[in-house]
Structure 1
Amino acid sequence: MTKKITILGAGLSGLLTAYHLQNKDFDIEIIEARNRIGGRIHTINSDTAQVEMGATWFNEIHVNFKNLLSELELGYFEQFMQGTSYFEPFSAAPAQEIQIPQNSPSYRVVGGTSQLIETLKSKLTDVPIHLNEVVSNIDFDNEKIKITTPNKIFETDYVISTLPQALFANDININPPLPQKLTDIAKKTHTWMQDSIKIAFVYDDPFWRNKNYSGTLFSNVGPITEFYDQSNAALNKFALCGFISSGMEMYTQEERLEKLKIQLEKIFGQESLNFTSYHETVWAKETATKSAKQIGFMYPHQNNGHPLFRESYYDNRLFFAGTETANQYPGYMEGAVIAAKNTAETILKLQSKV
């Protein structure tokens, strides 16, 4: 009899796990809490803009991610860093003009990172994806696992969670309870980008490039802390995109924008205020990324890659495959690719022994 696998989360690791397991004699479905797929990958794509509100960059060392792009025939291009950049060390001092060495480039996916998500989805022809399904309970007590959302009850043989570990441990009632040691570690696991606020200003033309500036800013002052050129590969959509101080979460969007405009004009001049649209994502307010029950300071990548996340539970019926579970590059897109591959291989090995 064909066994059913239910994957929690339609981000990169969830879709990729399904991709590896499809056509392997499983009945696969994906449950996603958001109204969209992609998780922490989210490209805003319109006639005038192509900006990344989530995962964006990768490097030469991310070989598994690069191999995946090659397999799916997706292109990538180098992050534009040419020309003069800015560094703002102190609030009382003007920004310094600096040159950034071009010896370790970063790359972006042609068409936006969501191109990867949409391509994977197109490959999953027999895998239903249920959106707007927030899991509240998982019951392992019977032969069939029961997954409860406000809308329905799903029954399955295996659960693969790709959710952030802290979100899984804090927000889902598990019966019988998870091992206490696992729960304790999971609740104290940092979810990469959970406190990030990402912003983008879209322009009709790249005024910074026209002046031989890279569009790059590093600031110890804020509110913008990192800023980069976000022009697309075709060079017909232009933007500046980056991160702002996490403390800016306390303000309204209107208040944030006013503070950003002051710094923007200070660094890039009057032309920088001629943006055509402004976009932002406060990831701490994304309930499918960060649990409201998770409080207190955490170090970046705290407990990421912990060995307990790569074990199976409930007699090989619960597995974890989110990026924070990876034994290499946890939290990054590379980690998501590694975690998905490792978990799929583990399940296929178990299947071969049946």
Structure 2
Amino acid sequence: MSEISSKYIIVGAGLSGLTTAYQLEKTGETDFIILESRNRIGGRIHTCDGIDLGATWFQPHHQNVSNLLDELELSRFHQFSKGRSVLVYSTMAPEHYFESDSNTPSAFRIAGSSSKLIQKLAAPFSNRIYLETAVSEISERGDALSLQTNKGIFIAEKVIVTVPPKIATRITFTPELSEVVMRAMDGTHTWMSNAMKVGMTFKRPFWRNKNLSGTVIGQVGAVTELYDHSNFEDNTFALMGFVNEGLRDYSSEERKERILDYLTKYLGKEIGDYLSYEEKDWSQDWNTSCETIKSVYMSPAYGNPIFTKAYMKGRLLFSGAETSPLYGGYMDGAIYSGILAAQKVCE
């Protein structure tokens, strides 16, 4: 296979990588390509049957998401929270019901799913995205960088690596990056890498008819968090949430049975009348997880300044949600880091 050359190569077609490309495209810089190891774009934004099994929400103060949605003419809407929510303290104690605080601004969702943002971002340069193209080595080659992949060799003046830092440690860098940099990469937790999400669609929102919000927060049980996941038009109804990590070792059918039994107890037997059932275990996603599965109950420290520097004679840059100094780990951080990367690569 002949070599393919481009001025800029972006490694990863997640939100950060696509934002970098979008920003370059806006300035008139079209000499770039994107290499993505998955068979789809979006990274940890992944939607199945209208259910966001990856990144889902953003907050009112996440201005980078809001600004980008406005620019792309995409709508947003508040997470549904009207009615009573369920808090499960213990399997030995009765559940507690509480009303949501209507004075507290709720999180936003993107109309049409989070993947709508991905599709709109990528549309202008979709023909410059190489799917199922995994980078195994990045090496110096004169005044350029050479990228070895399963699809052949790619050459670029500059490279922006936007995959999570820990995942990027799988890449061989020649000459080697310093031990300090590699240690920082390996020590950066990949957001969602230990998460498992589940979602179900329904013909009608039966929980709302019972004055339930669809929110179930469980300190014990099969599901740790559950929320109403109905669409923007409010004509397709769904529930979506996070599965207790203790169910990871069960078969998919056993896990489903335990989840449905658990939710039946708090929402009603109608839970069994689902139209579709989807789940995603991110710990089994090779592109997301390469670490020992462990619980992460607080947002890890992101935005290590070591990722703001350029390496390999100024030709290698890092970007991504985990590298962002602002709202690291969130969609807002991914967008912000993509904006910064596009600015830096053109300097």
Aligned equivalents of 1:219 and 1:151: distance in 2? 46
How far does residue 251 in structure 1 lie from its aligned partner after superposition?
1.7
The unaligned stretches of length 5 or more in structure 1 are none
**Paired position in structure 1 for 2:317:** 319
Identity of aligned residues (%): 38
**Paired position in structure 1 for 2:108:** 107
Aligned equivalents of 2:246 and 2:142: distance in 1? 46
Aligned equivalents of 2:118 and 2:228: distance in 1? 23
How far does residue 19 in structure 1 lie from its aligned partner after superposition?
0.8
Is 1:159 paired with 2:156?
no
Aligned equivalents of 1:208 and 1:247: distance in 2? 26
**TM-score w.r.t. structure 2 length?**
0.94
Aligned length: 340
Aligned equivalents of 2:178 and 2:73: distance in 1? 42
Is 1:89 paired with 2:89?
yes
Give the CA RMSD over aligned residues: 1.6
Query: Is the 1:190–1:301 contact (alpha carbons within 8 Å) kept by the matching residues of 2?
Result: no
The amino acid across from 1:178 in the alignment is L
How far does residue 140 in structure 1 lie from its aligned partner after superposition?
1.8
Query: Is the 2:197–2:281 contact (alpha carbons within 8 Å) kept by the matching residues of 1?
Result: yes
The unaligned stretches of length 5 or more in structure 2 are none
* 1:68-123 deviation line (CA, Å, top 9, x unaligned): 10011000011100001100001111221111212121111111111100001113
Aligned equivalents of 2:152 and 2:12: distance in 1? 16
* 1:10-68 deviation line (CA, Å, top 9, x unaligned): 011101101111254451000001110000111123xxxx1110111111110111011
**Paired position in structure 2 for 1:295:** 292
Query: Is the 1:53–1:281 contact (alpha carbons within 8 Å) kept by the matching residues of 2?
Result: yes
How do residues 1-354 of structure 1 correspond to structure 2 at under 5 angstroms? 4-22=7-25, 23-25=27-29, 27-45=31-49, 50-102=50-102, 103-124=104-125, 128-169=128-169, 171-291=170-290, 294-295=291-292, 297=294, 299=296, 300-348=298-346, 350=347
Aligned equivalents of 1:165 and 1:301: distance in 2? 16
How far does residue 164 in structure 1 lie from its aligned partner after superposition?
0.5
Query: Is the 2:194–2:294 contact (alpha carbons within 8 Å) kept by the matching residues of 1?
Result: no
Structure 1 residues 227 and 298, CA, compared in 2 at 3 Å: closer, same or farther? closer
Query: Is the 1:188–1:303 contact (alpha carbons within 8 Å) kept by the matching residues of 2?
Result: no
The amino acid across from 2:140 in the alignment is F
Q: State the SS of the aligned residue for 1:344.
A: helix
The amino acid across from 1:277 in the alignment is S
* 1:129-188 deviation line (CA, Å, top 9, x unaligned): 00011111111243331111222111111110110000001x111111111101001101
How far does residue 248 in structure 1 lie from its aligned partner after superposition?
2.0
Aligned equivalents of 1:346 and 1:160: distance in 2? 10
The amino acid across from 1:162 in the alignment is T
The amino acid across from 1:201 in the alignment is M
Moved more, 84-93 or 21-30: 21-30
